[in-house]
């Protein structure tokens, strides 16, 4: 199958499944890549915890922060579906900085992430990305704002109303009545920019080696594995990733490492056009689309 035919078919499948998507798969060995609309900026949702982890881990490496330092964290007391870890705690906790880094990255714990943002604010995270020549990702606010969407103010069983608003309230210029979905106000990034960040973690780059190794380790232990992981995990592969979910947005960015040495950066950013909170079909479709693009690149070098 030609690349053009493959992309056309994948795009049609995504559209039929109610998804607008931005995808990029890059062979980290050769630099070859294949994608669908990879330069469209989208709100990052919890993918923002990846640059936060990078900036925090590097400050620990430099000795500006102490990973063993205990941090007082207020309970999140969130009861709506989705948030994890400290975000659902009912009582205050004292957690070491290193462990907050684990909770934020591997469990996507928003309360842990905001404790890290208290130490390394969003503008500092963005500045660090630019210092490493990583552009296309902008960090503007803490994750606490992600829990203040219309969905949190609706009663049980009314999630579809928040999703309907998320779908119908956007503008042609990617503005939005929901601030978290407005690309001029939200944390944002493109599929290409996230792939560049992954490449900087897995290949020699301006990111210090010890910092990159720490973040790779965290991504390898990501506990959220229902989205792309089923299509990239096996006894002969290692899948390391970070997910992001916000209203009708479903994202994942990761690297699959094969036993033969090949490594691929895989980024899938999606907007659902179906007003429903639970969409296992969309999750599966994301993985199938990414796997099709990865398989196409892998076949180019004669690997089945």
pLDDT tens digits, 146-202: 656 555 554 555 555 455 555 554 555 555 556 667 777 889 999 999 999 999 999
Percent of the chain with pLDDT over 70: 85
Cα distance between residue 103 and residue 6, in whole Å: 38
Mean pLDDT of 17-34: 96
Does the structure show a pLDDT above 50 at 304? no
| Per-residue model confidence (pLDDT) at position 122 | 96
Q: Name the DSSP letter for residue 176.
A: B
Rounded to two decimals, the pTM is 0.89
Q: Which pLDDT band, with edges at 50, 70 and 90, does 76 fall under?
A: confident
Measured CA to CA, the distance from residue 214 to residue 276 in angstroms comes to 36
So what's the pLDDT on residue 75? 84
Tens of pLDDT, residue by residue over 245-286, are: 988 899 999 999 999 999 999 999 999 888 767 788 899 999
Q: Which has more confidence, 118 or 80?
A: 118
């Amino acid at each position: 199958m030609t690349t053009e035919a493959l992309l056309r078919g994948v795009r049609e499948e995504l559209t039929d499944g109610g998804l607008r998507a931005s995808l990029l798969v890059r062979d980290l060995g050769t630099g070859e890549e294949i994608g669908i609309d990879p330069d469209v900026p989208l709100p990052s949702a919890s993918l923002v915890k990846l640059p936060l982890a990078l900036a925090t881990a590097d400050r620990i490496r430099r000795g500006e922060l102490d990973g063993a330092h205990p941090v007082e964290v207020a309970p999140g007391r969130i009861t709506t579906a989705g948030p994890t870890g400290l975000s659902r705690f009912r009582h205050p906790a004292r957690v070491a900085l290193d462990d907050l880094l684990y909770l934020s990255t591997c469990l996507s714990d928003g309360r842990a992430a905001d404790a890290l943002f208290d130490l390394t604010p969003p503008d500092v995270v963005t500045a660090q990305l630019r210092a490493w020549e990583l552009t296309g990702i902008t960090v503007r606010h803490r994750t606490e704002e992600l829990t203040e969407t219309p969905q949190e103010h609706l009663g049980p069983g009314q999630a579809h109303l928040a999703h309907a608003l998320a779908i119908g309230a956007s503008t042609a210029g990617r503005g939005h009545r929901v601030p978290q979905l407005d690309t001029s106000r939200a944390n944002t990034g493109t599929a290409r920019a996230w792939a560049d960040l992954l490449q900087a973690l897995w290949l020699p780059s301006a990111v210090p080696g010890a910092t990159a190794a720490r973040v790779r380790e965290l991504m390898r232990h990501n506990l959220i594995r229902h989205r792309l992981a089923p299509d990239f995990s096996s006894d002969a592969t290692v899948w390391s990733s970070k997910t992001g979910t916000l209203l009708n947005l479903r994202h994942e960015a990761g690297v699959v490492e094969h036993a033969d040495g090949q490594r691929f950066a895989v980024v899938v950013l999606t907007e659902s056009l179906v007003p429903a909170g639970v969409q296992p079909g969309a999750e599966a479709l994301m993985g199938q689309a990414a796997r099709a693009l990865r398989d196409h690149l892998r076949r180019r070098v004669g690997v089945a």
